């Protein structure tokens, strides 16, 4: 019985290169999960089985790692994933209001919009407290994400604007008061 592959031949070539860097193949697991997620956008059951076969691990072994780390998405997050810090510094600076704005603009957390453009998630810390409310889009930093700036970001993404241009505009603010228009 032949098994259908969801990962490309290029993935398998990269996988062998990555595995060769480690004295024990299993040590490459996280790197291979990253490679697979970069290729198809998330880590589904087929990816778990394929990565397991490459490393001679059971699907349960691979799934245990994929579900432990929050950076691995089990369903497709859409083209753009907005990660919003809701840790103490960001909460004090208005993360709850920004959460409400994202929920209104996109929908519930961890769910892609119907058109597949974007989703959002709450994260514990992005290590950029000096930019509170801190956020990222596809792991690229966005400082001072106020509710208005969150709506502007989502509207721009839905309108098809280039991510780099949107981020450049949002990064132009040097302080929270400037981001709030003050």
Q: Where does the chain hold its CATH 1.10.10.1590 domain(s)?
A: 9-68
Give 55's contacts (C-beta < 8 A, 6+ positions apart): 19, 25, 26, 28, 29, 32, 62
Is the pLDDT higher at 174 or at 92? 92
CATH classification (class only), 9-68: mainly alpha
Confidence tier at 113 by pLDDT (50, 70, 90):
very high
Q: Tell me, what's the pLDDT at 1?
A: 52
Question: Quick one: which of 80, 177, 178, 87 has its CA closest to 128?
Answer: 87
Strand duo 135-137 + 118-123: pairing: unpaired
The predicted model gives 89-109 an average pLDDT of 96
What Cα–Cα distance (Å) separates residue 18 from each residue in 33, 39, 123?
11, 15, 28
Mean pLDDT, the chain, whole residue set: 94
Long-range CB pairs of 159-166 (<8 Å, 24+ gap) are 163/80, 163/137, 163/138, 166/137
124-159 confidence digits (pLDDT tens): 899 999 999 999 999 999 999 999 999 999 999 999
Q: Tell me, what's the pLDDT at 2?
A: 57
Q: Where does the chain hold its CATH 3.40.30.10 domain(s)?
A: 80-179
CATH classification (class only), 80-179: alpha beta
CA atoms within 13 A on the CB side of 44: 10
CA atoms within 13 A on the CB side of 74: 11
């Amino acid at each position: 019985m032949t098994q259908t592959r969801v990962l490309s031949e290029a993935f398998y070539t990269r996988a062998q290169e990555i595995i060769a860097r480690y004295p024990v193949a299993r040590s490459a697991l996280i790197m291979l999960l990253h490679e697979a997620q970069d290729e198809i956008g998330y880590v589904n059951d087929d990816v778990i089985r394929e990565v397991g076969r490459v490393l001679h691990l059971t699907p349960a072994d691979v799934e245990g790692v994929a579900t432990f780390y929050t950076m691995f998405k089990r369903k497709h997050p859409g083209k753009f994933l907005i990660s919003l810090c809701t840790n103490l510094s960001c909460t004090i600076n208005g993360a709850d209001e920004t959460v409400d704005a994202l929920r209104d603009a996109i929908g519930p957390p961890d769910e892609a919009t119907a058109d597949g453009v974007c989703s959002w998630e709450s994260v514990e810390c992005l290590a950029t407290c000096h930019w509170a409310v801190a956020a990222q889009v596809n792991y690229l930093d966005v400082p001072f994400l106020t509710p208005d700036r969150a709506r502007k970001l989502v509207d721009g993404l839905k309108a098809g604007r280039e991510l780099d241009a949107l981020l450049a505009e949002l990064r132009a603010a040097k302080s929270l008061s400037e981001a709030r228009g003050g």
